[in-house]
Amino acid sequence: MNRFIRVICISCISALTFGAAGKSIAASDKKCLESPRLKDLLKIYDLNKDGCIDQSEQDLIKRDAGILPAEPPPPKVAKREPYRPAPVLLVRDAHPANAFLDGGSKVSDAGALFSYTSDNATSTSTWAAKGSVVTGFVWDREAKLDEIKNGYVSRIAFLTGIEFDRTFQNKTASDSGSTSAKAGFEIERFGGADSGLLRQYFKADMVYTTDFDGKASVYGFQSYWQPMFRNGPIGKTTQIADKIWFGFRPTLAADYYHVSDNGTFKALTPGEDYLWLGTKIAASLSFDYEYLKSLTFAAKYFYLAETLKAPQHRDINYVQISALYDLVKDMLSLEARYTYGNTPRTLARQNEFYAGLTVKLGDLPASPTSN
């Protein structure tokens, strides 16, 4: 009962004092109190039952507001550990080309694709699967005051995954494609108050790639640095018009691989080393209109120059453009995708168009430093 009285009193006194909810007693010539809470106040303070809160009854309200005990302090919240691990499981079209920890990029919206074709004339069945499964842990931490000023490491991720691009047939030996295993880490660093970089990401992965029958053996590492500038559109998603958003995330990338056995990867030379330096760029266009919220246009462009220049070495020049429409949010999309160029690691030539359903699974915990 006391708490109820105090709530009523505080609301009333605050309103009287500031004049937002009712008129001030001192400033009003009226005998009766005016307040949106008058009905509740009458139940308690209208002692003479005349339907009016007169001056003496207003004095009781002020007295009660002053003598009632203060609200108990809120319970203490246990301070969390400096680093809090959070498990991650993602299914996407490929290992992310941009920063995994950059939640604003949605870690690539494109999903993995799976297809089945049956040729009744030849009794041949064909299965195709292309995508990536990524799992691991993410740690985030709270910053100290001096770290906020000078910059600090805000998140760390340890990630492993399998990237696959495989085709299988039941009657022929024309299986094709590649499988890659990856393991590495990524660091998100939050820029200091005076830094031009709001955030920046560093990533390094060890990679092993083989072909469909396991004969090829290509291993090495890939790394990149991705900046997010405090001002301007680089490294983030920016509103470019009413309800239209554009994301632009460039990186500086370095990929090194040694080819122990090229297997079916005929564009590679056995025994050679490859060092590619360049950029990997991801871009997106999304909308906030009612009927377009599920639609996203996305693009990836890689250009990496091969710097060791051994025989048959080639630069990587790769582009993929896609349009995605979410049928089941963050799970199932209708996608049209065009891919052209030579792919990283295997240098396999691609010039293909795909339209159909793609599957996505999982999302990344939001960054405590996100905008």
103-149: per-residue pLDDT in tens?
655 555 677 878 777 777 777 778 888 888 888 888 887 777 777 77
At residue 197, does pLDDT exceed 50? yes
Question: Where residue 51 falls among pLDDT bands split at 50, 70, 90?
Answer: confident
In this predicted model, which residue has the larger pLDDT, 364 or 81?
364
Alpha helices in 135-190 (DSSP H): 145-150
Tokens at 251, concatenated: 């990186």
Run of H or E residues at 127: strand 124-140
| DSSP helix/strand/coil, 74 | coil
Query: Could you tell me which of 198, 200, 204 has the C-alpha nearest to residue 182?
Result: 204
Q: What is the pLDDT of residue 118?
A: 76
At residue 322, does pLDDT exceed 70? yes
Least confident of 222-226, 248-252, 348-352: 348-352
At residue 26, does pLDDT exceed 50? no
Q: How many CB atoms lie within 10 A of CB 212?
A: 19
Tell me the C-alpha distance between 100 and 159, whole Å: 9
Question: Where residue 23 falls among pLDDT bands split at 50, 70, 90?
Answer: very low
User: Rounded to the nearest 10 degrees, what angle do helices 55-67 and 38-45 cross at?
Assistant: 90
Q: What is the pLDDT of residue 361?
A: 78
Tell me the C-alpha distance between 35 and 331, whole Å: 52
Alpha helices in the chain (DSSP H): 2-18, 38-45, 55-67, 145-150
At residue 208, does pLDDT exceed 90? yes
Taking phi over 0 as left and psi of -120 to 50 as alpha, with beta for the rest, 134 belongs to: beta
Question: Where residue 366 falls among pLDDT bands split at 50, 70, 90?
Answer: low
Tokens at 67, concatenated: 């003598």
Q: What is the pLDDT of residue 16?
A: 42
| DSSP helix/strand/coil, 113 | strand
| C-alpha dihedral sign at 86, 284, 256, 224 | negative
In this predicted model, which residue has the larger pLDDT, 193 or 275?
275
Looking at residue 339, its amino acid is T
| C-alpha dihedral sign at 357, 362, 366, 367 | negative
Q: Considering the chain, what is the average pLDDT of its residues?
A: 77
For 361, which DSSP code? B
Q: What are the backbone angles phi and psi of residue 216, rounded to the nearest 5°?
A: -70, 150
Mean pLDDT of 342-358: 87
Tokens at 52, concatenated: 């009016």
Structural domains in the chain plus CATH codes: 2-67 (no CATH), 84-359 (2.40.128)
Tell me the C-alpha distance between 31 and 27, whole Å: 11
For 263, which DSSP code? T
226-252: per-residue pLDDT in tens?
999 988 889 888 888 888 999 999 999
CB 132 within 8 Å of CB 159:
no
Q: What is the pLDDT of residue 307?
A: 92
User: Rounded to the nearest 10 degrees, what angle do helices 38-45 and 2-18 cross at?
Assistant: 130
60-105: per-residue pLDDT in tens?
676 655 544 444 555 554 444 455 566 778 888 777 767 767 765 5
* pTM for the predicted model, two decimal places: 0.69
Tokens at 270, concatenated: 């056995």
